[in-house]
Amino acid sequence: MNLLAYILCLTGIISLVVIQLIKKEDKDFIEILVSSMSLYLVIISLVSVVFLLFRSYSSVIVLAVSSFLIIIYTIYYLFFEYKNKVKNINLFKLSLGSLLVLGFVITMIIFVGGRYEFIQLTGDAGVYSVSAMNLEKNGKLISKLEVRENLSDELKKIYDKDNLLYFNPNTKNGSYLPGIYLESNSEGELSYYYQFYPVWPIMMSVFSSIFGQDNQHYILVVFYVLLVFLLYYSLIKIGISKLYSFMGVILLGTSPLVIHFAKYPTSELFLLFLVMYCFYAITQNNYHNMIIAGLIITVFSLTHISTFMYLPILLLGLVFIYQKRIHHYFIFLITSFSGFLISIPYGYYVSKRYFLDIYNMNFARFYGEKSLQFGILTVTFLGGVGLIFSLIGFFQKYNYKGELNHD
């Protein structure tokens, strides 16, 4: 265990717990802990992406910066927002429902706590896992084939034949292994980068920096636990009885597919966690959590290229919010559409070949040979339209009786 990384992580989570305790929201301690851990993971994701884009990623530095930002905000909250109001904090408030869910989760650890020992390195799980190890070791998106650089031209030909999946000297790109792309510069040096967006490998990398590389996949258990609790609290918040909410927890928690992905290190469980956390944040129905919900959608967009397929859901949400005049929801949409638009150039930057291939394949049936250009133009246009109308709806709030519900 990396003690420094562990302390930094714990400090950030405790600071977020302190903020919620000071607010005296109607939550028990387990809900406060779950929401604090969830928010901390979202903050880590966003901070990691910033460092990675500047090619200076380090798990410990990311944890340090994330915790530092949270501590600064906590200090501000203590001395400016809630000055002289910190008293009678009930640290050990627990509900029967939370304890039942906790008991269920502890029982299910037996089934989700294991992992698949044999993962094909050329499959999605293998690519994600090796990408996480590479990020933890090198701290950058693109790495050079250092062994190849030290070989003579004759030996390079033998190396390429025996080790590279394929390489096209005309286009100067190819594949090292399935899911690992190659590119050559003008000097003939080969660099490689991984197929998928790096946020999920980043999460495994951060976990491995605390508990060791052999345990990086166990972060899936953390997301499983958070997912189950967030479902329960979300259902309670929208008015579902505790009994039916607990039944929903059992149905989700015992789902064979969820249990499978809790042991198989692809991004599906992480994405499901983000969706559930977004739903939970929206049910809190205040300005602060609308921003958090939008940032969660941003992390989702930065995690998986498939986000453009869910864009119509946000657009339908925009229509619904316009009709209902739920003004603080426009904050959520503004943040979400902004995050989605950022994810388009981001995707091209972090995995160029993968980005181009996906857009070509998905829009070929609509645009034929110009699928790439018109596909990118279409999703950018729709995202831009959503952002513009969200901004218009937000700034029109003063024309109606509805007001933002501030913390």
What does the pLDDT read at residue 352?
A: 87
What does the pLDDT read at residue 248?
A: 95
How many angstroms separate the Cα of 326 from the Cα of each of 193, 270, 289, 323, 394? Answer: 44, 29, 14, 8, 9
Strand partners, 175: 166, 181
| pLDDT tens, the chain, 407 aa long | 578 888 889 999 999 988 888 776 678 889 999 999 999 999 999 999 999 888 778 898 999 999 999 999 888 877 776 655 555 555 667 889 999 999 999 999 988 887 765 566 667 888 888 888 888 888 888 877 777 777 787 887 787 777 777 777 777 777 777 778 888 776 667 788 888 899 999 999 999 988 888 888 899 999 999 999 999 999 999 999 999 999 999 999 999 999 999 988 899 999 999 999 999 999 988 888 999 999 999 999 999 998 989 999 999 999 988 887 777 889 999 999 999 999 999 999 988 888 988 999 889 888 888 888 999 999 999 999 999 999 998 888 655 444 444 44
What does the pLDDT read at residue 56?
A: 77
pLDDT tens-digit profile of 204-250? 999 998 888 888 889 999 999 999 999 999 999 999 999 999 999 99
- pTM more than 0.75: yes
* Nearby residues of 116 by Cβ (< 8 Å), 6 or more positions away: 125, 263, 264
3-state secondary structure labels for all residues of the chain: CCHHHHHHHHHHHHHHHHHHHHHCCCCCHHHHHHHHHHHHHHHHHHHHHHHHHCCCCCHHHHHHHHHHHHHHHHHHHHHHHCCCCCCCCCCCCCCHHHHHHHHHHHHHHHHHCCCCCCCCCCCHHHHHHHHHHHHHHHCCCCEECHHHHCCCHHHHHHHHHHHCCEEECCCCEEEEECCEEEEECCCCCEEEEECCCCHHHHHHHHHHHHHCHHHHHHHHHHHHHHHHHHHHHHHHHCCCCHHHHHHHHHHHHCCHHHHHHCCCCCCHHHHHHHHHHHHHHHHCCCHHHHHHHHHHHHHHHHHCHHHHHHHHHHHHHHHHHHHHCCCCHHHHHHHHHHHHHHHHHHHHHHCHHHHHHHHHHHHHHHHHHHHHHHHHHHHHHHHHHHHHHHHHHHHCHHHCCCCCCCC
Strand partners, 167: 174
Calculate the CA dihedral of residues 169, 171, 176, 181 and round it to 10 degrees: 160
pLDDT tens-digit profile of 376-396? 999 999 999 999 999 998 888
Residue 347: name the closest of 305, 391, 384 by CA: 305
At 374, the amino acid letter reads F
pLDDT tens-digit profile of 149-184? 777 878 877 877 777 777 777 777 777 777 788 887
Mean pLDDT, rounded, of the chain: 86
What does the pLDDT read at residue 280?
A: 96
What does the pLDDT read at residue 167?
A: 74
How many angstroms separate the Cα of 100 from the Cα of each of 97, 104, 149, 243, 250? Answer: 5, 6, 58, 10, 11
What does the pLDDT read at residue 379?
A: 94
Q: Are 206 and 44 in contact (CB under 8 A)?
A: yes
How far is residue 147's CA from residue 227's CA, in Å, rounded to a whole number? 43
Give me the count of residues in the chain. 407
How far is residue 295's CA from residue 167's CA, in Å, rounded to a whole number? 39
What does the pLDDT read at residue 337?
A: 96
